[in-house]
Amino acid sequence: MAETRGIPGTRQTIMRSAADLFAELGYRNTSLRAVAADAGCDPALIGHYFASKEALYDAVVAETVRPAELFREAIGRRDPGAAEWLLRHAVTDWGDPVQRRRILGVLRSALDLPAARERFTQSLVPEGIAGADEIRLALISSLLVGVMTSRHMGLLSPELAKDGDSAELVRALAPAVAALLVAEPAGGAGSDRSE
């Protein structure tokens, strides 16, 4: 088995197989043996790259759900243009059928298991982001997950649901995301409601 360790691309092949199986079966029903069979490798090789099924799932989440650094930049900019920039990056992933399937698989696994849900949630918020910014990102994430799921289920109008041309969807969502990105914290400037 030692000769197969370190073959270029093996780790990525394992992760692709795991992502596909998590998408199809969910976290709970995906076994490391099934991942190894799909990847065409010995199950022991998975242990060489990943300490556990949980570690493999963490790696799949990190590669599949990639908003943390995008969110950090968008929060740092705090301008309405950051919303469109963020949305264009998000809907690019939705337009790729393989990536969309994997994202939905990660979400399915997050619903399936509390530990998977916690890992998914942690992947959305960059390190060092807390307080009001963390709440903003949680709300933006919820909005994006809801829209992506609705789009996948065919609940959106055809103009917003079509793959390939996401400009209309970005325009429709941008004001809501911009409002969250540039919102003043409670008690901050603009919070005086007296008339």
pLDDT in tens, 68-84: 677 878 888 777 788 99
Inter-residue contact 2 to 43 (CB < 8 Å)? no
pLDDT above 50 for 1: no
Task: Judge if 54 and 93 occupy the same domain.
Answer: no
| Domain-embedded: residue 164 | yes
List C-alpha distances in Å: 46 to 11, 22, 28, 131, 191: 8, 15, 17, 38, 53
- Residues 70, 116 within the same domain: yes
Per the structure block, which two tokens stand in for 163? 């793959």
Q: Distance (Å, rounded) from C-alpha 153 to C-alpha 182?
A: 31
User: Do 52 and 81 fall into the same domain?
Assistant: no
Place of tokens 């399937």: 101
Mean pLDDT of the chain: 79
Range of the domain at 36: 2-62
Question: Percentage of the chain surpassing pLDDT 70?
Answer: 84
Query: What CA–CA distance (Å, rounded) separates 153 from 150?
Result: 5
Kindly state whether residue 195 falls inside one of the protein's structural domains.
no
| Sequence-separated (6 or more) residues with CB below 8 Å from residue 84 | 170, 171, 174, 178
State the average pLDDT over residues 31-45: 94
Residue 40 domain flag: yes
Using the predicted structure, report yes or no on whether residue 7 has a pLDDT greater than 50.
yes
Name which residue leads in pLDDT, 61 or 65.
61
Residues 104 and 135 placed together within one structural domain of the fold: yes
Q: Residue 92 — very low, low, confident or very high, per pLDDT cuts 50/70/90? A: confident
Structure tokens at 43: 């199950």
Whether residue 127 sits in one domain with residue 75? yes
Say if residue 14 is in the same domain as residue 106. Answer: no
Choosing from 44, 62, 80, the residue where a domain stops is 62
Buried b (16+ CB within 10 A) or exposed e, 178-192: bebbeeeeeeeeeee
pTM of the model: 0.67
Determine the distance from the C-alpha atom of residue 141 to the mean position of all C-alpha atoms in its chain, rounded to a whole number: 9
Does residue 190 lie within any of the structural domains?
A: no
* Residue 35 domain flag: yes
* Average pLDDT estimate for 144-155: 81
* 8 Å CB contact between 35 and 18: yes
What angle do the packed helices 67-77 and 114-124 form, to 10 degrees? 40
Report the percentage of the chain scoring pLDDT > 90.
Answer: 17
